[in-house]
Amino acid sequence: MSAKRIVLIDDEQYLSAVIEMCLEKVGGWSVFAAYSGSAGLLLAQTKQPDAILLDVMMPDISGFEVLQQLKSDPLTQRIPVILLTAKMQAVVEADYARLGIVSVLTKPFDPLTLANQVANTLGW
Amino acid sequence: MDVEQNTRKNKRQLIAEIEALHAEVKRLKLDASYQPQGEELLRQQVERERLLAIVTQKVRQSLAIDETLATAVTEVRQTLQADRALIFQLRPDGAGVVVKESVVPEYPVTNEMLFVDECFPSECYEHYRQGLPRVVLDVATDKWADCLSEFMQSVGVKSKIVAPIIHRNKVVPRVWGLLIVHSCAAYRHWQSVDAEFLQQVSNQLAIAIHQSELYEQLQAELSERQRIEAALQQSEALFRSLSESSPIGIFRSDKQNQCIYTNPCCQAIFGFTAEEALGKGWQKFVHPDDLAAYLTQRDAAIAAQQELVTEIRSINPDGIRYCKLRIAPIFSADGEPTGHVGMVEDITESREIERVKNEFISIVSHELRTPLASIRGALGLLASDVLKDDLEATERMLKVAEVEAERLVRLVNDMLDLERLTSNKVLLDKQLCDAGTLIQQSVEALQPLAEENQIALSYTQVSTPVWADPDRIIQTLVNIISNAIKFSPPGETVTVIVEPQSDRVLFKVQDRGRGIPADKLESIFGRFQQVDTSDARQKGGTGLGLSICRNIVQQHNGQIWVESVLGAGSTFCFTLPLLQEEV
């Protein structure tokens, strides 16, 4: 696994810190964290990451709105997106393609295998 | 002397002559050829005409057969100067019974006598059936009444006339009974004219009996019809009330799917009148996006003779209603489809409750899982050797676990507290307290937080009695004041005011924060309804604080609300009763 660049968009700062740690320490990747949807959009445009981990439930712009904007922006539409959710049955697999996402990871997660899950999902 | 002798002789002669006359009369009476002559005949004729007129009139005027028969036997006996007149009814079972009698006191009563096995010779019955009367001058020698001779003797009959009463309402005439006249004192030389007269009376009686039977039959039919009508009305009223008062909407359509009935509940759900719904009128009240699909489903279900359960929206003038619809085809007794019946249930409220419940569960799930995910992640990393030798990362993860565990504890505590409050499991320890003291204690508890946020706390030191649970009111005040501190920019002042009013005490907490949008003024007192959901994380709240405050205030029979100007600040207000409420 080469060093990947990940943009993490999640308003939960403590959880973000944990995810960052997991991906950096276990996966050996670079993580750029944004704590709001709007900051995340900007970060995705500027950092051009290999993948985006996107929280669904955020206060300013919801995860789905962020996703829509990522997919409609030529600068970001090709970047694979994985949704992070703590809600039950937020998205069913049949809707992945329609939404333009690769997968959905449910919180809580195993910190030691998170990077592997992401990598497997993206075929890295 | 001569005169005396003459007188005696005359007396004897007179007696002899009278005896001779008596003997002649007796002879004449016994003589079958004796016939009343002249004046007497005329008198008899008048009497008989009079009786016939009476009986005929009775028959025409009265349907009370009992009375007519009673009149007939009395009048007949008197007119014919007989000792007994009776009506003997032949029953279909072969028995016979005396149903009416008029008898002179000297002779036995036969009324209601029953003859179990009436033994008419068939030729006798046939004679009667032809409507022919019979005169029997000496009953002892009656060839058709051997079996009766003993009875005749016992009731002292010498001569009789029998006139049959013929029932003609059947194809074959039937002998209903007999009108009989008895002579007991003497043998009577009744003539055929007497028999004819009696037969005329019998014929009138037959008419009376026939009329009476018809009348009874009509009466029976009428009362049966009235009974059926009443039962129908009762049944109609029952089913109408079932439908009209039903809390479920009901409708009925005919074979062509034209609506022919809607009950009041159905009309209320769709917002149409009974008339507007008729035919295809109801379709205008179904949401246009749902109508075509419903009609397709309905036609398919009816064609397959199956029930259909579906949901449609009605465009009620009061707003769109969600309806659960259940229809079933109806068949006639011979299996022919005759339309369908439907039930409509307004599920708008239950759908909304379901939606709110799902959203709540979703939020709870998110609120619980997020700190859990942090804790699980942090501890997982700490337990592995990933963070080995990286002291800073180790400390950061420990801090994450600690902070998020505290958040989880607060959340669980608040949820349990709210659950106990809403399910009335919390018994408030209400007592007379001083509102000023409650405020002072709350403010003192929050002083460190205020200093941390560089907020000044100001409060009025007024002593006012209030009937409340002090711990719960301090909890409420701390919650509202801490919100005010957290949402005010540094350097501002949060003011707490207490105002005694006529029947209550008003508490006010004023801040100079960012304010609350008008559409959130009400909803922020709901669960997880912060103006900004990130507030809970950033300000250390759980999203349940104001909901808990509202429950506490409501359990004190008080009110809670907020007044706010966006960008200028908010004032949270609540009231508490001044005095102990009446128990």
Chosen for mutation from A8, A15, A62, A104 (greatest number of chain B CBs closer than 10 Å) is A15
For chain A, helix, strand, coil in percent to 5 are 40, 20, 40
Cβ-Cβ contacts under 8 Å, A33 against chain B: none
Give me the pLDDT at residue B583, please: 45
- Give how far A16 is from chain B: nearest CA, Å: 8
Condensed to tens digits (0 to 9), the pLDDT of residues B16-47 reads 766 766 665 555 555 444 555 677 778 878 88
Condensed to tens digits (0 to 9), the pLDDT of residues B199-231 reads 999 998 998 888 888 888 999 999 999 999 999
Q: Tell me which amino acid residue B579 is.
A: L
Task: Report the pLDDT averaged over residues B289-294.
Answer: 94
Task: Report the pLDDT averaged over residues B352-376.
Answer: 86
Angle in degrees, 0-180, between the axes of helices B391-422 and B545-555, rounded to the nearest 10? 30
DSSP structural state of residue B286: B
Does the predicted model carry a pTM greater than 0.80? no
CA distances from B252 to A63, B146, B262, B290 (A): 49, 76, 7, 20
Nearest by CB to B393, from A19, A21, A86: name it.
A21
Cβ-Cβ contacts under 8 Å, A53 against chain B: none
Higher pLDDT, B58 or A29: A29
Nearest by CB to B377, from A11, A86, A111: name it.
A111
Distance (Å, rounded) from C-alpha B153 to C-alpha B375? 126
With CA atoms as reference, the chain A residue closest to B533 would be A59
DSSP string, B447-493: HHHHHHTT-EEEE-----EEEE-HHHHHHHHHHHHHHHHHTSPTT-E
With CA atoms as reference, the chain A residue closest to B359 would be A87
With CA atoms as reference, the chain B residue closest to A14 would be B400
Task: Report the pLDDT averaged over residues B496-510.
Answer: 91
Condensed to tens digits (0 to 9), the pLDDT of residues B378-387 reads 999 999 888 8
Residues 352-411 of B with CB under 8 A from A: 361-362, 365-366, 368-378, 380-381, 384, 386-387, 390, 393, 396-397, 400, 403-404
Predicted-complex ipTM score? 0.90
- Give how far B469 is from chain A: nearest CA, Å: 36
Give me the pLDDT at residue B32, please: 43
Distance of CA B167 to the CA centre of its chain: 49
Q: Tell me which amino acid residue A6 is.
A: I
Nearest by CB to A87, from B362, B371, B397: name it.
B362
Whether B1 has a pLDDT exceeding 70, the answer reads no
Task: Report the pLDDT averaged over residues B393-406.
Answer: 93
- Give how far A96 is from chain B: nearest CA, Å: 20
